[in-house]
Amino acid sequence: MTTEYQAVIAEFEPIIGLETHIELGTNSKMFCSCSAQFGGDPNTHVCPVCLGLPGSMPVVNRVAVESTIRMGLALNCSIAPWCRFARKNYFYPDMPKNYQISQYDEPLCSDGYLDVTVPTENGPGVFRVEIERVHMEEDTGKLLHAGGSGRIHGATHSLVDYNRAGIPLIEVVTKPILGTGELAPEIAKAYVSELRDLMRALGVSDVRMEEGSLRCDVNVSLNRQGEGWGTRTETKNVNSLRSVERAVRTEMVRQAEQLRLGERIILETRHFNEETGDTTSGRSKEEAEDYRYFPEPDLVPVAPSESWIKQLRGTLPEIPSVRRARLQNDWGISEFDMQSLVNAGALELIIASIDAGVQPSAARKWWTGELTRVANERDCELEELTVTPADIAQIEGLISEGVLTDKMARSVFEGLLDGEGNVAEVIDSRGLVVVNDDDLLVEAINQALSESPDIAEKIKSGKVAAAGAIVGAVMKSTKGQADAAKVRTLLLEQLGVKE
């Protein structure tokens, strides 16, 4: 913790609030039968409904409603027996109807919670984040500003792609999260991470932050101890876990500076700059009345029956926290170790590696050791690295066949990370072959022994521990391309010594 941040915590209490948008992975859009597939040639997944042409009528996607109810149930929410969609009116070129169909004062799910685990001084601690609502809406299209830097400023013209317009979007809004103290940034990150894992377990979305299928708005305010709540700012579209944490932290520090100068915080949206970690002012916030919400007249209310809800409850998967406890037990590791690999973003990658055939301990070793180190060095997330669980399975297979040593495996990883091609190509281009030829190894052993006659004597006299030095010398002379255990066996054989 920086001293700057410590000073903020000594003087102020933070309150955070998270609004998370999750694009559902349904086949079709929210109110029409167009494909909801990511991408596609611009404006090919469109029809009169999602283009907002006059006279077209929306129809609700049943799977989207089911997914939302399952999300609500998994978040311990109450499911409304009856609710409606609302029109949220605003004019923006990526929204062809000039209103968005959303939900306003009648969300489908409300009043739930999600428990998240955060590291504290006394080991991992559980913090309960309360959920205000989970509601359904539709996504907007995408604008592309051409002829400049990609931003609207300096562009010569803008293009619009409506493929995304109308894709089901679920918004999960937390209640104001109080009492986090200095852990506010970590709790924000842990919440989004837990929510993402839960959605993935439910199978409702691929929840890829980098592709924008999970987007997070981060609300932060500060107040001095004993005073009322401060004014919040809302940092929009933060799109990685690390950025969520950073956005809370930078916003806390920025607001504190302003408050200390006696300046007021204004209710506004802010942009998060991924490069610098700073936030910059966006627009001042609309009030709800600016949107002139009213019940959507073209859609019937959603009134899920109790039996339908019960049936959906029966489809809920093992929730991530329960699954983690089970895996921790299976792998025989401590809660602390489990927590650190979750924090490193390694859990799913380890599981995927095990599914690909890697031993649990080896999967953990690579992801939490070597690869986490590289991710930290490069300041990126583990899953952004160009190494896949399948690569690890392949490399581990080669190690067990004796084709690669551990050291050579590290070199393969290096090559993969530097974009030198796939596993076979890296092995080939780096000339990684295990020296398995006994004659060659014995030659190297004899060479090493002749260079250190004193050590040779020691081993012969029964000090087997001294063998390490000779094995090390052989590994060095073979550039790490020998199997150390085999060298050791051959060495002892050579000297006629028994373990």
Q: Which residues bind Mg ion (CB under 5 A)?
A: 19
d(CA 168, CA 170): 7
Site for ligand ADP in 90-149 (CB under 6 A): none
Output the smallest distance, CB 15 to ligand ADP, in A. 4
In sequence order, the 6+-apart residues with CB closer than 8 A to the CB of 319 are 74, 198, 201
d(CA 156, CA 202): 43
What does 175 interact with, of Zn ion, Mg ion, ligand ADP, none (CB < 5 to 8 A by kind)? Answer: ligand ADP
Sign of CA dihedral 24, 26, 31, 36: positive
What does 363 interact with, of Mg ion, ligand ADP, Zn ion, none (CB < 5 to 8 A by kind)? Answer: none
Using CB under 6 A, which of the segments 169-177, 271-279, 304-312, 319-327 binds ligand ADP?
169-177
Nearer to ligand ADP, 288 or 380 (CB): 288
Interaction of residue 19 with ligand ADP, rule CB under 6 A: yes
Cross-strand bridge partners of residue 133: 110, 173
Nearer to Mg ion, 22 or 445 (CB): 22
Site for ligand ADP in 205-224 (CB under 6 A): 219-221
Nearer to Zn ion, 49 or 134 (CB): 49
Output the smallest distance, CB 95 to ligand ADP, in A. 16
Output the smallest distance, CB 292 to Zn ion, in A. 25
Provide the 3-class DSSP secondary structure of residue 259: helix
Site for ligand ADP in 228-267 (CB under 6 A): 229, 232, 234
Pair of tokens at residue 1? 């913790």
Q: What is the residue-wise DSSP string for 434-446?
A: ----HHHHHHHHH
Output the smallest distance, CB 102 to ligand ADP, in A. 10
Interaction of residue 185 with ligand ADP, rule CB under 6 A: no
Output the smallest distance, CB 160 to Zn ion, in A. 15
Nearer to Mg ion, 268 or 428 (CB): 268
- Residue 71 phi/psi, 5-degree rounding, is -60, -45
Using CB under 6 A, which of the segments 226-234, 246-254, 440-448, 477-485 binds ligand ADP?
226-234
| Host H or E run for residue 214 | strand 214-224
**C-alpha pair distances (Å), 250 with each of 39, 220, 278:** 33, 10, 6
Q: What is the residue-wise DSSP string for 273-337?
A: -TTT--EEEEEEPPPGGGG--EE-TTSPPB---HHHHHHHHTT----HHHHHHHHHHHHT--HHH
Pair of tokens at residue 464? 């087997």
What does 232 interact with, of ligand ADP, Mg ion, Zn ion, none (CB < 5 to 8 A by kind)? Answer: ligand ADP
What does 368 interact with, of ligand ADP, Mg ion, Zn ion, none (CB < 5 to 8 A by kind)? Answer: none
Residue least distant from Mg ion (Cβ):
19
Interaction of residue 175 with ligand ADP, rule CB under 6 A: yes
Nearer to Zn ion, 87 or 133 (CB): 87
Nearer to Mg ion, 171 or 194 (CB): 171
Output the smallest distance, CB 166 to ligand ADP, in A. 20
Sign of CA dihedral 455, 461, 464, 465: negative
User: Is residue 166 within 8 Å of 49, Cβ to Cβ?
Assistant: yes
Question: 146-162: string of b/e by CB count within 10 Å (b at 16+)?
Answer: eeeeeeeeebeeeebbb
**C-alpha pair distances (Å), 320 with each of 126, 204, 297, 326:** 14, 14, 39, 10
Q: Measured in Å, how far apart are the chain's first and last C-alpha atoms?
A: 50
Site for ligand ADP in 280-319 (CB under 6 A): 285
Nearer to ligand ADP, 12 or 162 (CB): 12
Nearer to ligand ADP, 234 or 428 (CB): 234
Q: Which residues bind Zn ion (CB under 5 A)?
A: 32, 34, 47, 49-50
Residues of the shown chain interacting with ligand ADP in the complex, contacts defined by CB under 6 A: 15-19, 173-176, 219-221, 229, 232, 234, 285
